[in-house]
Amino acid sequence: MCGYMTRSFPEWIRRPWGSGTAFGQTKALLGDLGVKTVCQSARCPNQGECWSCRTATFMILGTTCTRNCRFCSVRHGVPEPPAPDEPERVAEAVARLGLRHAVVTSVTRDDVEDGGAGHFRRTIEAIRARNPEATVEVLTPDFNGARESVAAVLGAGPDVFGHNVETVERLYPVVRGAGHAYRRPLDVLRLARDLGGGTVVKSAFMLGLGETDSEVERTLADLLDAGCQAVCIGQYLQPTAAQCTVHEFVSPERFRHYEATARRMGFDAVVAGPFVRSSYRSGELLETVRGVRAASGEGEED
């Protein structure tokens, strides 16, 4: 499935380049603080839109991943040790950008004893100390399924705990690579459900890799069973020739179909579309879940 996609992009797969005053200010601010973003490292197509709105998804624990998934352009290899002052720099970036909802993700750090969970926790705590009104969302690696690592992150009380299933079960060995099990992310999400109290549990996966309708519905059912209240569904776009090729460009109509299906199945919040990514408009997704909870009486004190 590797080799660069050569056929032309359909009309709906087009995004403007980032430009304008706000985009430049966001870029300069992040550079000044030495804060990394997944927008850059993963070549996100929404970077122009998000940075122009003075928002970004922060990537902690360095920019080198210890794994080499076949859909991802983040570089892999031997990472540098985590930077001790990174949590405070991220918290300062949240403050300077004026974010009401901060999203923090990371590379996978199999070289660190707790998988980086302690660094996640310190980052959440630093954001809350510097930005007490902001909500915080984390998108974590799997921590090799370690219960204590998931518990450490949840112990800092993030508003949203996200972990992506990425693709359907049949395609997992191809897309994630040998040694990755489809059930691992489901187990991590289940832990988050069981340990997280009121934390919203969220996941995401990609279309366009050769999945079928029934496989998409099976994945949605598995996510619901694992405790997800929110799900994001987006189009896979091949970042470089080294990654898996695109099997198909899924039409906006089919994305709307999958969004309606997920809502009908019981998710509190769903967003699906060609440019949807895990953190895309994530603050709005959190508010949707909270609205559903309030309407149902969930979360009200006895």
Q: Which two tokens stand for residue 91?
A: 């918290």
Q: What is the mean pLDDT of the chain?
A: 88
- Let me know: does 159 contact 137? Beta carbons within 8 Å: yes
Long-range contacts of 60-63 (CB under 8 A, 24+ apart): 60/36, 60/86, 60/87, 60/90, 60/104, 60/105, 60/106, 60/116, 60/119, 60/120, 60/123, 61/86, 61/106, 61/107, 61/109, 61/112, 61/116, 61/119, 62/36, 62/107, 62/109, 63/36, 63/107
pLDDT of residue 244: 85
Region of poorest pLDDT, from 71-80, 90-99, 144-153, 280-289: 71-80
Is the pLDDT score of 88 beyond 60?
yes
- Let me know: does 66 contact 110? Beta carbons within 8 Å: yes
Q: Which two tokens stand for residue 127?
A: 């954001």
Question: The tokens 């972990």 sit on which residue?
Answer: 163
Region of poorest pLDDT, from 5-19, 70-84, 110-124: 5-19
Q: Where are the domains of the chain?
A: 21-296
Is the pLDDT score of 73 beyond 80?
no
User: Regarding predicted confidence, which is higher, 248 or 1?
Assistant: 248
pLDDT in tens, 19-45: 567 777 787 888 889 999 865 555 555
pLDDT of residue 177: 77
Q: Which two tokens stand for residue 24?
A: 């430049």
pLDDT average, residue stretch 46-67: 75
pLDDT band of 85, cuts 50, 70, 90? very high
- Let me know: does 228 contact 185? Beta carbons within 8 Å: no
pLDDT average, residue stretch 283-295: 93
Which residue type sits at 179? G
pLDDT of residue 28: 84
pLDDT in tens, 197-241: 899 999 999 999 999 999 999 999 999 999 999 999 999 988 777
Of 194, 198, 193, which Cα lies nearest the Cα of 300?
A: 198
- The CATH code for residues 21-296 is 3.20.20.70
pLDDT of residue 301: 46
CA distance 151 to 196: 8
